[in-house]
Chain A
Amino acid sequence: MAKELYDGIYSSHKLIFVEKIRRNLEFYLKNKVRDIRLLGQEIFFNTDIDNLPEVLKEIRKNPEIEVDILSSINKYISKNRCILLINLSSVSNNFSMIIKASLKSPADDTETFAAEYNKLINQISAVYESAAFYLEGSKTEDRHFDIVLRSHILDGLDAFDTYLNAEEDIITKANISTRISVIPFYSITNKVTITELISKISRFDYNAGIFPELCFCLALEELMQLKVARRVQFIRMIISELSRISNHLSYIAKMATVLGSKITLSHILIEQERALRLIELVTGSRVHPNYIRVGGVRKDLNDEILKNISAGIKHLFKKIPIIESMLLDNTVITHKLKNTGQADRQAVLGCGVTGPNLRASGARYDLRKNRNLLLYREVSFLVAVGKYGDCLERLYIRFREIYQSIKIIDQLIGLMPDEHIRKLINLSELDMPYNKMVSSIECPHGVFKIYFEIEKNVVEKLVVMGPSRNSLYLAETILCGSRTEDIELILASLDISSGEIMQELPI
């Protein structure tokens, strides 16, 4: 009965709510927005660049819409015009929207283009403060800095430079420059076939490569209205949770390295290898799985693989409490972690941070629960929520999430439906009209979102909105006031994935 109520009321209520917001937007902004529609569960509309500040003000201040978080600003070049994608979300109302606007100056005239872009960002930052992070150009060149950390100095935090001003040992100002991670990748985002993209998209988050693939395939399935078999959904959930465990273990390994706990590091690396081997057993690859297909998965799981996974997670369940006690029962380590890099709920939400970093500050927001992702409603698990938002809480949340993932996998193996999986679609003969789509998924770092435009079986344009850029902005905020000796610890505790902060170099 409860399940029927949940299925029946929750999903329809959600759609009605988003539809209501869409109508409100149409009513309040009818002359200023066009092409307003629902893409998946997200609201999408176009607006003129002149109207953009007014539209944003209305969205922010109108109590019936109440969108208070700027998640990201992404830009891409199309037909020598720079197009902005402004991603806004409302955690309290649990929905998000994407605003598309095209800049006036041509993209090849770099000076006027940069001036117009920066002017617009300044206007946006009057409404949403966090927009200032997306300013382009030399915010670090003309100033004097006391400490400069080049990208290769810190292992695993190698896609950005950190510029710091300090008085004695207290940091007064922090700037993070991602200039090093602006790389050419137009062969993967422009005119690429679906099959090629599925095999390559995992490079955008190589710490948990299954999630970009899954996000893209879920978007296409929603676009084509494909009904996927229950067994496929279960297999997808198993491999997602294994990836989550592997990513969290590599996070804990990074923290153990920074904290100098060598014995713990050895134990974690053994367990991480165990998780990676389970992933390899299922997908055939440790880092880039290339396993999810539109409407299915590449290979079914047989009983032997399921037995191996079951044995593997049982072993992990025994070992991880030992690692946890080695790390967190040590008072030297907990004293170092406690109250370091503390950020309260409002500050974290203001930066647009999602995922475990947000949950560590006390906000219960998880797409697995909030948005009926895959078939997570059929398994019982808790969303781990912290309270204090410091480094200790962030580390503790990861341990709790590993236990929940193990619990989910254990249930899924027990509930695995026995049905024949058949191929639903042949992508080479796909003849889809021009369409666009947005999709999001809860990856281990936060909400991973992609936007793409598709025609026939070719993806015309792909934009990746990873959650790690928000974590970088949060790092800028919380580094101020921290001690210089804690820089590496704070940056490591935010779990910044280098693949997600990559940006496209304009052609």
Chain B
Amino acid sequence: MRQLVKNSLNLFVAGFGCCKKEIYSTLGPTYDISRFGVNFVNLPEDSDVLVIQGFYNRTGERRLLDCYRSMEEPKWVIAAGKCIVDRSVFCQDYVLTDRLKNEIKIDFYVPGCPPRPEAFIYCILRILEIH
């Protein structure tokens, strides 16, 4: 199945935060991420790529893990934004990648606060290139 749809990725963006605004702005005609065969979906079961961004608490972490587990293989994970790649902007002691390092394997990091839409598209192109 992956061979058949290898140029088409379904993205699920978890969490809430400023990066989501920039990630969704790639949908518009200016950036038009859909010409690379990328769709945004709202169900983790449908998706191939999980985008982790924004702010989380324990409930949010639990929901993120549920989403990750309900995705089917093969799956990739993108960590977008400073709050996930590094420490949270709001709380220096909170590092999500450290807390979930045993449960989730992150494939790509997109730095920036928030990352520009071009940076996010570059990351998607790298996924399409590698796989």
Query: Which residues on A are within 8 Å of B, measured CB to CB?
Result: 150-156, 158-159, 179-188, 200, 203, 206-207, 250, 266, 269-270, 272-273, 276, 286-288, 498-499, 502, 505
- Over the window 40-58 of chain B, the binary record of Cβ atoms lying under 8 Å from chain A Cβ atoms (1 yes, 0 no) is 1010000000000001110
Q: How far is the CA of A186 from the CA of B27 in the complex (A)?
A: 34
Q: Is the CB of A498 within 8 A of B17?
A: yes
Quote the shortest CB–CB distance from A43 to chain B (angstroms). Answer: 31
Pick 19 A–B contacts, CB within 8 A, sort by A. A152-B14, A179-B59, A180-B57, A180-B59, A180-B60, A181-B16, A183-B60, A183-B91, A184-B91, A184-B94, A185-B88, A187-B93, A203-B90, A266-B28, A270-B28, A270-B30, A272-B28, A273-B30, A502-B55
* B residues near A498, Cβ cutoff 8 Å: 16-17
Q: Taking the complex as formed, is B111 at the interface, i.e. its CB lies under 8 A from any CB of chain A?
A: no
Q: Distance in Å from the Cβ of A315 to the closest Cβ of chain B?
A: 14
Contacts of A182 in B (CB 8 A): 57
With contacts A180-B57, A180-B60 taken as known, whether A152 is within 8 angstroms of B67 at the C-beta atoms is: yes
A269–B30 touching, CB < 8 Å: yes
With A188-B90, A505-B57 given, is the CB distance from A287 to B21 under 8 Å?
Answer: yes
Among B12, B40, B56, B60, which residue has the most Cβ atoms of chain A within 10 A?
B60
Given contacts A152-B63, A269-B29, contact A287 B22 (CB under 8 A): yes
Alpha-carbon distance A193/B92, docked complex (angstroms): 15
Q: How many A-B residue pairs have CB under 8 A?
A: 96
Give every chain A residue within 8 A of B15 (Cβ-Cβ): 152, 158
B112-128 interface (Cβ within 8 A of A): 113-114, 116
The residue on B at minimum CB distance from A204 is B90
Q: Select from chain A the residue with minimum beta-carbon distance to B44.
A: A152
The residues of B with any CB-CB pair to A shorter than 8 Å are: 12, 14-18, 20-22, 24-25, 27-30, 40, 42, 55-57, 59-60, 63, 67, 88-94, 113-114, 116
Q: Are B16 and A203 in contact (CB under 8 A)?
A: no
Interchain nearest-CB distance for B23 vs A (Å): 11
8 residue pairs, one from A and one from B, having the closest CB atoms: A269-B28, A185-B90, A206-B18, A158-B16, A184-B91, A498-B16, A273-B30, A159-B16
Nearest chain B CB to A262's CB is how many angstroms away?
11
Bound Cα distance from A290 to B60, whole angstroms: 28
In the assembly, what is the distance between CA of A387 and CA of B67, in Å? 43
Complex Cα distance, B22 from A207, in Å, reads 10
Question: Given the complex of chains A and B, what is the CA–CA distance between A253 and B21 in angstroms?
Answer: 12
- CB distance A288 to B113 under 8 Å? yes
Partner of B63, one of A150, A184, A188, A276: A150
The reply to whether B18 and A288 contact each other, CB–CB distance below 8 Å, is yes
Assembled-state Cα–Cα distance A153/B63 (Å)? 12
| CB closest residue in chain A, given B94 | A184
- CB proximity of B104 to chain A, nearest CB, Å: 16
